Structure 1
Amino acid sequence: MISQDYLDAMQDGQGESRLHSPQSEHALIGSMIHQPGLIDDVKLEVGDFFQPDCAELFELLLAFRAKGRAIDVVTLSDARPTLSDGRSTLVVAAEIARNTPSAANFSAYARIVKQRSVARRVIAAAHIMSERLKDGDSLDEVLAQGQQAWIALEAEGLDSRKRYRFIGEVLPEAIDGIDRRFNRDVVLGFDTGLPSLDKFISGICPGHMVVIAGAPGSGKTTLGLGIAERVALVAKSTSLVFSLEMTDVELTNRSLASVGSVQLKHITEGHSMGDNDWPGLTAAVNRLNSAPLIFCDDASLTMRDIRQICRTVKREHGLGSVTLDYIGLINGESKSASRYDQVTEISKSIKRLAKELGVPVIVLAQLNRGPTNRANKRPTKSDLRDSGQIEADADVVVLVHRDGESEEGQSGVTELIVDKNRHGETGFCRVQHQGAYHRFAELVGYQPSNEEVEMGRPFAQGHRAKGAKHETF
C-alpha cells in the first residue's frame, strides 16, 4: 500500500495529485449516471478508483447494469440508502451528477483515472520489491517479479482505443506497402544470401520469429551469423547478435573468415597466414569496420536483459534484426521453474519481442536425439529440443541437416529443410557448407535422388561452387 503521507506530498494544493484525480473520478461517475450506456465502454475496475465514494458508486452502477435495471440517483439511493462513510447515497450521487453537466469528455476522464491507478500500482509494486530485498529475497527473483508486474501494468495503461483498428483503417497502409514493394522502393524482408532458401521463405520479415535448428556442428550458427552479416553489410541495417556460447572475438574471427575468404584456421593460428590471405583479411576489415554489426557475448543473459539491450540499440542506432545463439542457453527468470517451463516462457517472450520491436528475431536452437533413430537421419520440427512451444511460436523453422556418414555430407553438402513456414511453402534445398570459411554457398548442377523425388516435397535446385572461394556478400 502507498502511505497517506506520500500521497499528501504529491498534492498540488488543489486536491489534485499525480497519483489520483478526485475531479476526474467524480466526473466519470456523473457521466455514467447521465448516460448509463457508457458503463459498457469503460475499461476500469472498482480498485482503479481512489475516492471511496466513487469506488462504491461504480460498484453499484456495474451491478445495476448487469441486471438491466434503470439507473438514476433515485434508483441508486433506493438500492443503497447510505454509503460506507454514512453519507446519503442520494445526496452524494445527486451532487456528483449536478457537477457533471456533460458526458462529452467521458473517455478523457476514464483515461486519467486509469493512468493514475496504474501509477499507484507501480509505486506499490516498487515498495513490495524494496521490502522483499530488505527481507533477504534473491535479487534475480525480485527483479523478475518486478519486470512481469511492470509489463502487465504497462499494458493496462494503454488507451484501449489504440489497440485495435477496423480493416478500413488498415487497408491504405497495406495497399501502400504493396505499391512500394511493386516499385521496389522497399523489400518484404532481408534475404539470406542463398537464393534457393529465399525461394521458400521470401525474406526474413519484420516481426517474425525464425528458428534455425540443427545438431551440434551442423552449421546452424554459421547460417545464423551469415544472415546477420548480410543484414549489416548488404542491407546496411543494424544487426544485433547475442551469443551465449562464443565470445565476440570468436564471432569477429568467423566474420573475417567468411567475408574475406580467409580460412578461419589461419586467422585463429596467426602463424599459418599466407601471402594470399592478407589481401582478403584487409578487405574484410575494411568492410566490417564500419558495418552496423553488434555483438553481445554475455553468457548470463535473461530475456529481461535481452529486451533491455534491444530497446537501447533500437533507440540509439536503429535496429534491423536480432539473432540469438542459442535459446537453450538463455537463463530463465524463475529459478524454481523446470527447464521446460523456462524455455516455454522464453520462447513466448521472444515472439512478443519480435512484434514489439518490429524486426525479425532469428533464434538458433538444438535438436533432440530423435533423428539419430531414423533411417534417413532427417530431422523434423518436432525434434526441437527443450520445449514444443518453440515450434508453436516460430513463423519459420529451418532445419540444418548434413549426413556425416555419406560422401556428400563429408564434402559439405547440407540440406536446409523449411519444415514450417507460416506465410509460404515448406520444402528443402541443398547448399554447400564451406567449413574452412564458415559460410554457406549455393550448389551447381545438383539433381535430387529417387528417394527425395518419392518424398514429394518441393525442391529448390541451386548451383555448385565446389571448392571455390565464393564471395557471399
Structure 2
Amino acid sequence: MTTYEEPTDHRVDRMPPADLDAERAVLGSMAIARTAVLDVVEIVDGVKQPFSQPQHETIFNTMLALYAGGQPLDPITLTNRLRQQGDLDKVGGPAYLHQLVNSVSTAAHAAHYAEILRDMALLRAVIATGTELVQLGFQARHTHDTAAQIVDTAAANLQELTAAAKGGNESREWMLDRVVDAVLDEYDNPRDDVLPLPWADLQSVAPMEPGDLVVVAGRPAMGKSLVLLGIGRHVSIKHRRGCLISSMEMSHVQMGQRLVAAEAQVPLHALRARTLNREQYAHVRQARERIRRSPLRIDDTPAVPVSRWRRRLRQLQAKNELPAALIVDYLQIAKAETKAQNRVIEVDSIAVGLKALAQEFKIVVIAAAQLNRVSEHRTDKTPTLSDLRESGGIENNANIVVLLHREDYYDRESPRAGEFDFIVAKNRMGHNATVTAAWQGHYGRIVDMEEA
C-alpha cells in the first residue's frame, strides 16, 4: 500500500522569515560608509526588530550610537564600544566584526539590503501578531475579555502593522516653497485645530496645537487634576471636540463627581455628601445631559504604558473618532515600557513616548507632572522649571510647560487669596508669562478672573 507524501515545495516553512546574508550586508555597508547609515535607518524606521539575530541587533544599535556621537564605525571603534558594553563576546568577537566588513565590497546597495530586512521583519511581525491573536482568542474565557475587546485589540495590532508597512515608503520631505505657502495660508485662514482653553489669557499666551506635548506641573493639591479636567470639559462639552482623559490617580467615579460639580456649578462636597438642595439637583440633572452628549472619554486604568495609549488612539482613529487631545494624569505614575537602571531614565522615556504620540496622531497631549519639595523650602514658594521631579527629559520634550501656583495654599492670609497662577515657564513657539485666574475649589473648577 502506497502512502501519499506532500510535495516538499508545498510544505509550510516553519522557520521565521529571515535573510542572514542581507543582515550581514547591511551592517557591513554601514561600517564601510557612514552615508549608508541614513539610507538604512530611513528604510527600517518604524519596524520593530529589523534583524532576526540578537547579535546583529546589538551591533546595529551600537553603530547607531557611534554614528550619533560622530565617531567612526570601523571594526576597531566598534570592537572597543562593544567591549565597554560587555557585548563583544555575545556578538562573535572581533573576528565576526571583520567578517561583516568583508561581506560586501561596496556600500552602494545598502538600501536594497535594508528593503530585504524590512520585508523579512514585517513578515515576522505578521506571524507574531497572528500568534498573539490566536492566543487571545483561546484565553478569552480565562482572562474574561469580551469578544469586542479581542476584536479591538486585533484591529489595533493590524493597524500597527499597516502603519509600519507604509512607514518606509511615505516621504516626509517638504520643499521650502511649500513650507512658506503653508505659513501664509495659515495666516490668511486662521487654523481651527488649536485646542480651545477655558482661560482666554492662557490661550493667547500659549496656544496648544496638534503635535504639542504640554506639561502641567505642580505640587500635590495645587490643582493639576482640576486644570486637566477643566480643559477636557471645555474641549468636549462646550466645543464638542473629542478628548480622552487617562486618570491613573483617581477613579472614574471621583473624576465624574468633579466633572459634574464643575459643570453644574454646585459644591463638590455637597454632591459627594448627597446634601444638594432641589435647585442644585436640577442643575446637576441638566449638566448630566450636557456631559452625556459630549465626546469625552475617561479611562481610569492604573499605571498605563505609552503603548496602551497608542493602541487606544489607533482604535479611535479607525472609527474616525480620534480625539483632539489626550490628557494624562499624571506622567510620573505612568508605566515605562521596559525596566531601566533608574526611575529618571524611565520617566524620560515616558516623556519621549508622549511626545511621539502627539506628533504621530497630530493631537495635543497634555500631561500633569509632579514638582519636587524644593520650592516649599524656599522663602519664595513660586515653582521653577528646575523643580520638575525625577526628570530633565520632561522639560526637554515638552513644547509648553505650565507651572501651577497658589499663594494662599501656603499663606491663608495672603492678599492674593483665591487667585491661581498659570506660570508659562517654557513656550517653544512664544513667550513666557504668568496668567492669573480665579480658584473655585469648592466647585471643582478654575475660571477667568472676569467670571469669578
Normalising TM by the smaller chain, what interval?
Answer: 0.5 to 0.7
Mapped contact 1:371–1:378 kept (Cα < 8 A):
yes
Matched, 1:187 2:192: yes
Match of 2:397 in 1: 393
Match of 2:249 in 1: 245
Aligned-residue Cα RMSD (Å) equals 4.0
Matched, 1:298 2:301: yes
Unaligned 5+ residue runs, structure 2? 1-7, 23-35, 45-49, 53-99, 133-155
Secondary structure of 2:366's match?
strand
Alpha-carbon offset, residue 276 of structure 1: 2.3
Mapped contact 2:246–2:328 kept (Cα < 8 A):
yes
Q: For residues 179-328 of structure 1, what are the structure 2 equivalents within 5 Å?
A: 179-181=188-190, 186-201=191-206, 203-270=207-274, 272-316=275-319, 317-328=321-332
- For 2:266, the aligned partner's letter is V
- For 1:167, the aligned partner's letter is L
- Identify if the C-alpha distance between structure 1 residues 126 and 464 changes in structure 2 by more than 3 Å, giving closer, same or farther: closer
Distance 1:255 1:8 in 2: 60
Mapped contact 1:332–1:343 kept (Cα < 8 A):
yes
Distance 1:247 1:302 in 2: 17
Match of 2:139 in 1: none
Matched, 1:178 2:187: yes
Distance 2:432 2:292 in 1: 37
Give CA-to-partner distance per residue, 1:241-289, whole Å, 9 cap, x none.
000111111111111111111111111111x111220221122111101
Distance 1:380 1:230 in 2: 27
Match of 1:63 in 2: 105
Q: Which moved more, 1:165-174 or 1:383-392?
A: 165-174
Mapped contact 1:42–1:110 kept (Cα < 8 A):
no
Q: 2:427 aligns with which of 421, 424, 427?
A: 421
Distance 1:361 1:41 in 2: 29
- Identify if the C-alpha distance between structure 1 residues 464 and 300 changes in structure 2 by more than 3 Å, giving closer, same or farther: closer
Give CA-to-partner distance per residue, 1:76-110, whole Å, 9 cap, x none.
xxxxxxxxxxxxxxxxxxxxxxxxxxxxxx99x88
Distance 2:323 2:282 in 1: 31
- Identify if the C-alpha distance between structure 1 residues 153 and 319 changes in structure 2 by more than 3 Å, giving closer, same or farther: closer
Give CA-to-partner distance per residue, 1:135-181, whole Å, 9 cap, x none.
xxxxxxxxxxxx9xx99997697335613232234444443333321
Mapped contact 1:19–1:119 kept (Cα < 8 A):
no
Distance 2:128 2:292 in 1: 45
Mapped contact 1:417–1:428 kept (Cα < 8 A):
yes
Match of 2:386 in 1: 382
Alpha-carbon offset, residue 42 of structure 1: 6.2
Distance 1:416 1:345 in 2: 26
Mapped contact 2:305–2:337 kept (Cα < 8 A):
yes
Distance 2:415 2:296 in 1: 31
Q: 2:441 aligns with which of 422, 435, 438?
A: 435
Mapped contact 1:402–1:409 kept (Cα < 8 A):
no
Distance 2:39 2:125 in 1: 21
Q: 1:159 aligns with which of 168, 176, 201?
A: 168
Mapped contact 1:118–1:157 kept (Cα < 8 A):
no
Distance 2:297 2:175 in 1: 38
Mapped contact 1:412–1:435 kept (Cα < 8 A):
no
Give CA-to-partner distance per residue, 1:287-326, whole Å, 9 cap, x none.
1011000000011322222221222223222211000000
Distance 1:365 1:261 in 2: 27
- For 2:203, the aligned partner's letter is D
Mapped contact 2:122–2:161 kept (Cα < 8 A):
no
Mapped contact 1:240–1:321 kept (Cα < 8 A):
yes
**Count, aligned residues:** 349
Distance 2:123 2:193 in 1: 43
Match of 1:99 in 2: none
Matched, 1:405 2:414: no
- Identify if the C-alpha distance between structure 1 residues 110 and 200 changes in structure 2 by more than 3 Å, giving closer, same or farther: same
Mapped contact 1:257–1:438 kept (Cα < 8 A):
yes
Match of 1:85 in 2: none
- For 1:341, the aligned partner's letter is I
Distance 1:41 1:315 in 2: 32
**TM-score if structure 2 supplies the norm length?**
0.67
Secondary structure of 2:233's match?
helix
**TM-score if structure 1 supplies the norm length?**
0.64
- For 1:368, the aligned partner's letter is N
Mapped contact 1:111–1:159 kept (Cα < 8 A):
no
- Percent identity for Structure 1 against Structure 2: 25
- Identify if the C-alpha distance between structure 1 residues 409 and 363 changes in structure 2 by more than 3 Å, giving closer, same or farther: farther
Match of 2:66 in 1: none
Mapped contact 1:416–1:429 kept (Cα < 8 A):
yes
Match of 1:53 in 2: none
- Identify if the C-alpha distance between structure 1 residues 160 and 256 changes in structure 2 by more than 3 Å, giving closer, same or farther: same
Alpha-carbon offset, residue 123 of structure 1: 6.3
Alpha-carbon offset, residue 187 of structure 1: 2.5
Give CA-to-partner distance per residue, 1:201-245, whole Å, 9 cap, x none.
0x2211100000111111111011101111112221110000011
